[in-house]
Amino acid sequence: MDRPSREAFLAVVRDGRLVARGMPSFEELGESELADIRQYLRSEARKLRAAQAGAGEVRRASAPP
Ligand code: HEM
């Protein structure tokens, strides 16, 4: 993930960009808490991507020739 998506994350989670759509803002969180949460989400997303890539390979491997 690059800098624009860090800024998008902060806009939503810290600044309340999506409050009107039902996503609360967490203004009380500090820089390091926000960074920790973002890195946790990134690591979970990485795991999901890896699992999905693996599942795709299994499907391809078991498909008829
Ligand atoms: C630390 C906790 C949370 C984090 C880090 C977080 C993060 C995010 C992020 C990054 C998005 C944007 C997703 C996107 O654009 O694809 C989002 C959307 C959303 N979040 Fe959260 N969220 C948190 C807690 C909550 C809670 C407690 C609620 C509800 C009580 C909530 C409700 C929503 C909703 C409804 C949206 C979709 C808004 C839309 O329609 O665009 N979130 N959240």
| Residue pLDDT tens, the chain, 65 long | 455 699 999 999 999 999 999 999 999 999 999 999 999 999 999 999 999 998 866 555 555 55
Query: What is the biggest distance separating any 2 CA atoms in the chain, rounded to whole angstroms?
Result: 57
Sign of CA dihedral 5, 7, 13, 19: negative
**Which residue among 23, 33, 34, 36 has the greatest number of ligand 1 atoms within 8 angstroms of its CB, and so is best to mutate?**
23
Residues having CB closer than 6 A to ligand 1 are 9, 12-13, 18, 21-24, 26, 37
Ligand 1 centre and the CA of 9: distance in Å? 10
pTM for the structure as a whole: 0.81
